[in-house]
Every structure is written in C-alpha cells, then in structure tokens.
Copies of this chain bind each other. A is one copy, B any other.
Amino acid sequence: MVDRVAPAGTRGEQAVDRVHAVLRAEILDGVRPAGSRLREEEIAEAQGTSRTPVREAIRRLAGDGLAVLAPRRGAEVVAWDEEDLDELFDLRVLLEGHAAARAATSGRADTARLSELCDRMEALRRPTGDRDYAEITRLNLAFHREVHRAGGRRVLPDLVARVVEGPLVHSTLRRYSPDRLDRSFAQHRDLVAAVEAGDAEWARAVMTAHLRAAREVVRAAVPLSVPAPT
C-alpha cells in the first residue's frame, strides 16, 4: 500500500481512481471505522495529491453507499445498525437469487470458469493463515461476480455490487468453521449444477440457501465494526 507518493500521477492511472480504491479498502478493512469523518485535506496529504481528486473520490464513495455526505459539514463513513444489516441481507438474497436464476437460463454463464473457481477454492479448504483466507475471499467474490455477470447485462451487476460490497460482508468467510466452509463450497458446486441444468428455480433456491447460511454465521458471530456491544 505504499504507492508512489511523489509524482502522484506519473502513470496512466488517474489520481481519483487511486484515492477511491485506497479509501474504499481502508473503509472495508476497518481502518476507517463507521462514523469516522473523511476530511479532505488529511486524505489529500496522505495520498500526496490535492483536494480536488479527493473530493471526487469521496463523492464516488457516497454514491457507492460507503459514505454519507452532509452539506458544508463533510463526509463520514456510513454506519449500519442491526436492522440495516437485515435489510441489506434481504436484498442481497433477492438480487443474487435473481441473478442465479437468470444465469441458469441466459446461456451466458461460463460454467467452466465457475468449476475452475470451485476447484481452486476447494484446494484451500483447510486454510492456515491470512493469505489463504484472503485468497478464498477473492475466489469466492470472483465466483459470485461471474454469476452476476451471467445473470444481468448492465444493471444487475452494479446493483448487486452495491449490496454485496457493504460492511463486514468482506471478511465473513474468516468466520466459517472448516465444516461450514466445506458446506459452502458444496453449495457452490450445486449452483454450478443448477446452472448447467438450466434450472432457474433450482439455482435461485441454492443461492438463497447459500446466503441465508452466511447470514446465520454473521449473526452468530459478535460485533460489527465499531465495538459498541450495546
């Protein structure tokens, strides 16, 4: 995460993209906890740019639903309460279920790729360290993204991303017991089978079950971001 601080724009990458990515990662990793303010100048200094790209990046984060803006008072990291998380999860089930159903009949699903992702996840079924968990998370995300892509042309993937890439969902897999991890991988295989069979309702049911199980794991585990064990 060092990044060239000096030239700040030497490469083709746009500064605003860099800032956006960094802030996003910091929020998702909990470095910037829910409710913490996003001061433009502080971020600009840390990133080695001026306030202009930082402003844009913050607005984009707000558009992604990761920050909230108050006029003349700046932005802060969005804070979710228990009910919000329930709503989020419901919508995730709805949209990802829809995506799975569509993927089964759209004929645009790359089942070979899905199977390969399953293979690679199962190769890590007994993760030993952070690197393994990170890799599984990456693969899992890629798997779901492939389903989204196959289930919708333009709108659905964006919409789903908004709901999936929310809080804590990020590091959910870390909380899975080895047993639950196996079952999760098995559900992935079921989903591939449903898609290959072209059975929309089967695919929707598998995805629904898959996500509801995930919700239970998160529910059972303790706090959200900010401790606040109230």
Contacts and interface: CB of A to CB of B under 8 A. Distances in A.
B98 A94 contact: yes
Interface stretch (A24-32, A114-122, A135-143, A147-155): A147-155
Interface in A82-112: 83-84, 87-88, 90-91, 94-95, 98
Contact of A154 (B87, B94, B154, B155): B87
Contacts of A71: 14
Nearest to A166: B155
A178 interface: no
A63 interface: yes
Interface string A51-71: 000011001100111000001
Nearest to A95: B94
Contacts of A56: 55-56, 59
Contacts of A59: 56, 59-60, 63
Contact of A155 (B14, B64, B88, B98): B88
Interface stretch (A34-42, A157-165, A194-202): A157-165
A154 B63 contact: no
B159 A91 contact: yes
A161 to B, nearest CB: 11
Contacts of A90: 98
Nearest to A154: B84
Contacts of A64: 63
Given A84-B155, A87-B156, 5 more contacts: A84-B154, A91-B155, A91-B156, A94-B98, A155-B163
Closest 6 CB pairs of A and B: A63-B63, A87-B155, A87-B153, A94-B98, A84-B154, A88-B155
27 contacts: A55-B56, A56-B56, A59-B59, A59-B60, A59-B63, A63-B64, A65-B155, A83-B153, A84-B153, A84-B154, A84-B155, A87-B152, A87-B153, A87-B154, A87-B155, A87-B156, A88-B155, A90-B98, A91-B152, A91-B156, A91-B159, A94-B94, A94-B95, A94-B98, A159-B159, A159-B162, A159-B163
